[in-house]
Amino acid sequence: MDTCAEGELRSPGELRSARWLGRRDLKTFGHLSRLKQMGYAEEDFEGRPVIAVVNTWSDINPCHTHFRERVQDVKRGVLQAGGFPLELPALALAENFQKPSTMMYRNLLAMETEELLRSYPVDGVVLMGGCDKTTPGLLMGAASMDLPAVFLPAGPMMRGCWRGQTLGSGSDAWKHWDEYRAGNIGECELKAVEGGIARTPGHCMTMGTASTMTAVAEAMGFSLPGASSIPAVMAEHGRMAAACGRTVVTAVAAGRRPSAILGADSVHNGVVTALALGGSTNAVIHVIAMARRVGIPVGAEVFEELAERVPLLADVRPAGTHLMEDFYDAGGLPALLESLRDLLRPDAPTVNGRTLGENIAGARVHLPAVIRPREEPVSTVPALRVLRGNLCPDGALIKPSAMDPGKMRHTGRALVFDDYTELKRSIDDPATEVDEDTVLVLRGAGPVGGPGMPEWGMLPLPKRLLEKGVRDLVRISDARMSGTSYGTCVLHVAPESAVGGPLAALRTRDLVDLDVRAGTLDARVPAEEWEGRLAEVRAKRFDGDRGYLRLYRAHVGQADAGCDFDFLAGVGGPEPEIH
Ligand code: FES
């Protein structure tokens, strides 16, 4: 018989969910009756931690198709450990389909995650993501809500194939598209590549943003050891999903919150990981945003400083030759990290209660061609360089490991496009003046202008240069670039042109000087004239915006601040009243 008085907790009350489920009052009566409506008995939930399973499965996201079944593995693990799992669907952020860009909606997923956790009776959470922006979106939201959280990475898809030739996500799409435009392959071949490049569930299997960010999440302590390297369709992925369920229940019992995990050391480990993988430049924006959620003022310089010391060891496309399933067979992320132990902060805590150093102890590299020894890195060129100059006073990025080494120092005349539509319309126009020294410039593609900073940074090359065999030009934009892209692409120019940044003052035929080693990017325009042009630049007006886009443009930060909303920095916020 229950003897507690009205309003008192029926269970000890350490659990946050007890405010919804553990009192003797009318509200709890309503909550319990509705759980029973769904077929649950009191034995299912009474006294048990409620574990949200935030699932980004959707019919529109090919990278997460297996999440529909995988969530059952997570629930099995939660039940095994004595928790009560509840699946909460969230935005899928399907990289290929969502326009204008998933980046615009990353902050919406972060908000949704935070508010799902805040507004429902939740004690801990398993976050199911992997396709590009889902990883940072989920983690940013969970970090701000600060409930115990385990990240379950979707895992990469298996390799693609065409006529016996291995195909990798993204990189081979761009490559074969250029060959098609150059007339080297026909319609039939292109269709066959289209059907062979993505053949199983899972995220892109090159070292794009997905593979980079899931590995960064693991190195930062939010995933179980090795989780990010397991291909989506492997049986081990199901076992790992169940382990995530068990782990989060123990994390709730131990009160192991994101704020205890996400600190300067875990950020450092995440950056080292991104660099050693030759990871996506998108990681810079996402790590900055995640760190700022917990008050760590990180900038791109952290990446640059570590890039001088961290060797690129993962021989995975686009910087290398292999794919993620090879990386998994080679020992996966724990093996890579163990070989970099002296560069890591191994005492950083992780979600399973052990330190990162304990998690990776003894991991061995099985295929040194895939995870290279320290003395034989994939590249000795730093993975990332921050550029500054009169075109990018708040910084811009370039990925030296993915560019033509012959363009490390380059001067060329600018060919400026105001937006992507103009670029597409004009790039193959015979009247457009362009040669192999031209610097292609795209503006209006930043966080506000894009909007959402689309991955347009690998500007398409003019067809007539492709036909002449040219495969790279210096390209500059305030956009981002897919991690699977390559080329001499200056990205993330800040401040962007749409808010009045200096890219807006550049004109076609201006000389542009790029010096990657010196870290400079400048328009060679006399200072007085440049100042005069800057004085005339105005922020663009966007009068027709409504809804989320209006909120987004009003509050999004620039690339150097992680493109987060100004009102989302930090942790906490009031708990909902339950009346
Ligand atoms: Fe989902 Fe590439 S499209 S990770």
Q: What is the pTM of this model?
A: 0.94
pLDDT category, 5, cuts 50, 70, 90?
Answer: low
CB within 8 Å of 385: residues ≥ 6 apart: 304, 307, 397, 398, 399, 400, 516, 517, 519
pLDDT at 4: 46
235: number of Cβ within 10 Å: 8
Domains of the chain by start residue, with CATH: 1-43 (no CATH), 48-158+200-360 (no CATH), 161-196 (no CATH), 385-540 (3.50.30.80)
Distance 223 CA to ligand 1 centre (A): 19
Pocket lined around ligand 1, Cβ cut-off 6 Å: 63, 95-96, 131-132, 169, 203-204, 208, 210
Q: Is the pLDDT of residue 493 over 80?
A: yes
Which atom of ligand 1 is the closest one to the Cα of 209? 4
Condensed to tens digits (0 to 9), the pLDDT of residues 235-292 reads 999 999 999 999 999 999 999 999 999 999 999 999 999 999 999 999 999 999 999 9
Q: Kindly calculate the radius of gyration of the chain based on its CA atoms and give it in whole angstroms.
A: 25
What pLDDT, on a 0 to 100 scale, did the predictor assign at position 375?
95
Give pLDDT, residue 6.
Answer: 52
Sorted by sequence, the CB contacts under 8 Å of residue 425 that are 6+ apart come out as none
Cα 303 to ligand 1 centroid, rounded to whole Å: 24
State the pLDDT confidence band at 324, using cuts at 50, 70 and 90.
very high
What pLDDT is stored for residue 291 in this prediction?
A: 96
The pLDDT, as a whole number, for residue 573 is 80
Q: What percent of the chain has pLDDT over 70?
A: 98
Residue 502 CA to ligand 1 centre (angstroms): 32
- The DSSP code for 203 is B
Determine which residue's CA is closest to atom 2 belonging to ligand 1.
204
* Residue 57 CB coordination number (10 Å): 21
Across residues 169-198, what is the average pLDDT? 91
For the chain, the average pLDDT equals 94
In this prediction, residue 386 has a pLDDT band, given cuts at 50, 70 and 90, of very high
- Alpha-carbon distance of 488 to 514, in angstroms, equals 10
User: Mean of the pLDDT values across residues 47-61?
Assistant: 97
- Section 442-470 average pLDDT: 93
**Which ligand 1 atom is at minimum distance from the Cα of 169?**
2
CA atoms in the 13 A half-sphere facing the CB of 175: 14
Binned at pLDDT 50, 70 and 90, residue 355 comes out as very high
Please name the residue whose Cα sits nearest to atom 3 of ligand 1: 95
Give the mean model confidence (pLDDT) for residues 528-535: 96
Helices (H), ranges, 324-452: 324-329, 332-338, 356-360, 420-426
pLDDT of residue 13: 57
DSSP per residue, 214-256: HHHHHHTTSS-TTGGGS-TTSHHHHHHHHHHHHHHHHHHHHT-
**Residue 486: its pLDDT value, please?**
80
Element (H, E) at 195: helix 187-196
If you write DSSP's letter for every residue of 98-131 in order, what string do you get? Answer: SSS-HHHHHHHHHHHHHHHHHHS--SEEEEEE-S
What pLDDT digit, counting tens, does each position of 106-150 carry? 999 999 999 999 999 999 999 999 999 999 999 999 999 999 999
Structure tokens at 512: 């542009």
Q: What is the mean pLDDT of residues 197-209?
A: 96
What is the rounded distance in angstroms from the CA atom of residue 163 to the CA atom of residue 166? 8
